Amino acid sequence: MIYLDNAATTFPKPDTVINTVTDFMLNCGASPGRGGYDSAIRASEILYECQESIAKLFSIPTPERIVFTKNATEAINAAIFGLINPGDEIIISSMEHNSVMRASHEATKRGASLKIAHGTPEGKILPESIERLISSKTKLICLIHSSNVSGTINDIYTVSRIAKRHKVYTLFDLSQSAGIIPIDASAFDLAAFSGHKGLFGTMGTGALYIRKGIDVKPLLYGGTGSYSESARMPQEYPDLFHAGTVNAPGIAALNEGVRFILREGVYEKEKEITRYLYDLLSEIPAVTIPGERERTSAVSVTVKNKDVVELAEELNREGICVRAGLHCAPLAHRTLGTIHSGTLRFSPGYFTEKAHIESAVSAFKKIIEK
Amino acid sequence: MLATVASINSANRLKARLTEKYSVPSRVIQTPSSLTKEGCGYSIRFDNSQKSTVEKCAAELHINIRAFFREETNNTDTVYIKE
């Protein structure tokens, strides 16, 4: 099998990640913050250590303001619904995933208003296109750092500076960029992470960073293992966002995934393998690749007179795992001009070798030349 | 001695910093019921001589220590004396 769907979830995971999950399940197994016995305390330490690891990787000054979620979508929902009130305005981009698009749309049903900054045909959201939309009602700008369709990387640092100048909060969706390209989140307001993609954790993990000084209401209410006599949620982070038992084995795995990145420095290899794939695919005359060469690991293609879903199925028969369709990002496909056809997405990862790319592209060529 | 804090996360942060920066051993424990009005709290336990270091470390981390309790044994019972 050649796995080229790392934009959906990374596979394989580092051995240390797998061993950590097993070790947690075999030797710890307790619910963090739900008791005073050693393994419950140890489980809580794992959460703390994971916050520290994430903070280190992204230069976040306040690790305790990193809260765990089940995925980036939940992190995005927590940020939007915890921050936005009726009458507030949200600006999103035309490259957003449905995680942002649908949550923002729901916010409009609850009295918020929504504006969309349109991207270039390459899928780039120009910071000035966002700035032009800011009004006195704007409370939040949600922007995808890197597209899950085209891999296009947006300049979130400039957008962050613009937003600060206008006293507007930013929420950056780092699902496709965290662990793939270096990120300095020290000046960000809010950032949503996927745990199981570039950060090498298991599915069922994500995180939301909320800068100190920003008040966000929690999405869930319930037991936290603290202040149990009070009917109100504790105001301390991360407890405010950790109602119910958290995914401790997943967070242990995520911690090891982040440590792997800190230790191995994965960025150059990931960049190189994506470029290699892009260059080989771009040599095929019938293939069109939306977006720029510099990108994160999503390389989507269309093929003249071919159905992308059928192509994915033929590649599947050859043992090659790729994803076809709209990738839960119809706005992005409209921007890129691929809404009717969808695209066939190849997404390599850290463990993808050049030989895998060569085999996959060779098989792909044979299929489209039939 | 016990220092009671708002959450287990605060307790873990404090413990880690005490170990890494000050080489002060400590242990995270569940706060005894008699010492907490809110229920289900956490504390760190450390040697009495390290109180000022713990205060300094908590201040660095912006962790609010709710109270310090000296632990004494009265026959077989532990008695907590608020400092």
Is there a single domain that holds both residue A74 and residue A29? yes
The shortest CB-CB distance from B13 to any of A33, A48, A228 is to: A48
Give the pLDDT confidence score for residue B75 in this predicted structure.
84
CB A103 within 8 A of CB A80: yes
Q: Comparing C-alpha atoms, which of A62, A231, A225 is closest to residue B42?
A: A225
Block residue for tokens 């890197």: A146
| Boundary residue ending a domain (A229, A263, A297) | A263
What's the angle, vertex CA A74, arms to CA A19 and CA A44, rounded to 5?
45
Query: CATH number of the domain that A357 lies in?
Result: 3.90.1150.10
pTM of the model: 0.95
Segment A308-342, tens digit of pLDDT: 999 999 999 999 999 999 999 999 999 999 999 99
For residue B75, what are the contacts with CB-CB under 8 A and spacing of at least 6?
Answer: none
Taking the CA atoms of chain B, what radius of gyration do you get in angstroms? 12
Amino acid identity at B3: A
Question: Are A225 and A99 part of one and the same domain?
Answer: yes
Residues A194, A103 share a domain: yes
**A319: DSSP letter:** T
The answer for residues whose C-beta is within 8 angstroms of residue A43's C-beta and 6 or more apart is A24, A28, A29, A30, A31, A32, A33, A248
Same domain, A186 and A149: yes
Of A31-35, A142-146, A226-230, give the lowest mean pLDDT range: A226-230
How many residues belong to chain A? 370
Residue A194 has pLDDT above 90, yes or no: yes
Same domain, yes or no: A271 and A257: no
- Indicate whether A109 pLDDT > 80: yes
- pLDDT at residue A274 in the model: 98
- Chain B nearest CA to A126, separation (Å): 38
User: What integer best gives the mean pLDDT of chain A?
Assistant: 97
Tell me, yes or no, if A229 comes closer than 8 A to chain B by beta carbon.
Answer: yes
A330 and A365 belong to one structural domain:
yes
> Are A234 and A277 contained in the same domain?
no
Domain boundary, last residue among A263, A283, A313: A263
- The predicted pLDDT at position A370 comes to 85
Question: Are both A271 and A355 inside the same structural domain?
Answer: yes
Distance (Å) of CA A35 to CA A20, A244, A253, B63 = 22, 14, 22, 21
Range of the domain at B42: 2-82
pLDDT at A297 over 80: yes
Q: CA-CA distances (angstroms) from residue A138 to A78, A87, A90, A106?
A: 18, 9, 6, 17
Do residues B38 and B22 make contact, with C-beta atoms less than 8 angstroms apart?
Answer: no
Contact A33 B28 (CB under 8 A): no
The verdict on A50 and A142 lying in the same domain is: yes
Q: Do A229 and B37 touch (CB under 8 A)?
A: yes
Residue A42 has pLDDT above 80, yes or no: yes
Closest residue in A to B13 (Cα) is A48
Q: In terms of Cα–Cα distance, which of B5, B62, B59 is closest to B28? A: B5
Instruction: Tell me the average pLDDT across A42-63.
Output: 97
What pLDDT shows up at residue A79? 98
Angle between helices A354-369 and A267-282 in degrees, nearest 10: 20
Domain span at A289? 2-10+266-369
Residue type present at position B30: Q
User: Does residue A226 surpass a pLDDT of 90?
Assistant: no
B28 part of contact set with chain A, CB < 8 Å? yes
Subunit contact B8:A32, Cβ cutoff 8 A = yes
* Integer Cα distance of B67 and B48 in angstroms: 14
Q: What are the pLDDT digits (tens) for A248-285? A: 999 999 999 999 999 999 999 999 999 999 999 999 99
For chain A, what is the domain count?
2
A81 versus A226: which is more confidently predicted? Answer: A81
Q: Which pLDDT score, from 0 to 100, does residue B53 have?
A: 98
Q: How far is CA B2 from the centre of its chain?
A: 4
Unique residue bearing structure tokens 């008791």 = A35
Residue of A nearest to B41 (CA): A226
CATH of the domain at B54: 3.30.70
Put simply, the answer to whether B12 touches A229 (Cβ < 8 Å) is no
Both A250 and A331 in one domain: the answer is no
How far CA B69 is from CA of A227, B12, B46, B78, in Å, comes to 19, 18, 11, 11
Q: Looking at the complex, report in whole angstroms how far the Cα of residue B35 sits from the nearest Cα belonging to chain A.
A: 13
Tens of each residue's pLDDT in chain B, 83 residues: 999 998 999 999 999 999 999 999 999 999 998 998 777 889 999 999 999 999 999 999 999 999 999 999 888 888 999 99
Q: Do A107 and A243 fall into the same domain?
A: yes
Cβ neighbours of residue A166 under 8 Å, at least 6 residues apart? A131, A134, A138
User: Which of B32, B9, B1 shows the shortest CA–CA distance to A238?
Assistant: B9
- Report chain B residues whose CB lies below 8 A from the CB of A237: 9
Kindly state whether A32 is in contact with chain B, defined as any CB-CB distance less than 8 angstroms.
yes
Q: What is the CATH number of the domain that holds A93?
A: 3.40.640.10
Are both A206 and A305 inside the same structural domain? no
The Cα–Cα gap between B70 and B10 comes to 20
Selecting from B8, B38, B41 the residue whose C-beta is nearest the C-beta of A44 gives B8
Counted domains in chain B: 1
Q: Do A234 and B7 touch (CB under 8 A)?
A: yes
- Last residue within a domain, chosen from A263, A282, A301: A263
Across the interface, which of A51, A226, A230 has its CB nearest the CB of B8? A226
